[in-house]
Amino acid sequence: MATVPTPAGTSALLLDIEGTTTPITFVKDILFPYIREHLEDHLSTHWEEDECKQDVHLLKKQIEEDMKQHRACPVHTVDETVHTDEEKAIREVVDNVLWQMAADRKSTALKQLQGHMWRSAYASGRIKGEIYQDVTPSIRRWRDRGLKVYIYSSGSVEAQKLLFRYSVEGDVLDLFDGHFDTTIGLKVDEKSYQRIAERIGCRPDEITFLTDVSREAKAAEEAGVNVLVVVRPGNMELTEEEQAHYNLVTSFNQLELTGQV
């Protein structure tokens, strides 16, 4: 397995989750189906609780924003089984959430609700976060060499922490120095990476970002961040041009640290 050197001067590693630290199948086949299966029951049970009210409020604000921007929205059909105003409101939220998921939306409102739903599933042991076997030993090695390690994912910070706290390897949350989600900006926006650098307290060129998504890699690169593209089973295939442009890694074990103490 060929080694890939990290750029000299790297002081922080920024990691994506889906397709990078964690198999895409875990998200698509376990996490997302859990939401679809339990969404209506979750809303019905917690509808009057403050946390659920906040989740619904954010979703409604997102709908308003979508309408202002003339984005597509789900079409509500008449459902004869719905009789009360609460049932109607819940059904509309369900329709919107399922529509956003089908469209692979990355809205903060959606990700916050999902994180709150996954919390009980993780805590009860119904779900355990999956991590590639090369991930935790590599992060420990990086930290021993003095690097900081951060997560940047479209999933909410809470959802990120749940995955690593209740992982198949136990609680490995202490391996990370911080977490970022879409509240700092979308992953395809270069300004998001500039904000992360400011938050971490270093220059963009002192960060190396690992992701499997070329659009994210491009945005990070435009912000001055170093990029390594992760190639894992099931990840989206890269074009020949992308393969030639980016340094590729199939395992974290390939990273050779250069210039760190």
Which residue numbers belong to the known binding site for Mg(2+)?
Answer: 16, 18, 212
Rounded to whole angstroms, the Cα distance separating 229 from 20 reads 9
Give the residue ranges of the annotated binding site.
16, 18, 153-154, 187, 212
Tokens of 52: 């659920």
Non-local (6+) Cβ contacts of 65 within 8 A are: none
Residue pair 227/205 in contact (Cβ under 8 Å)? The answer is no
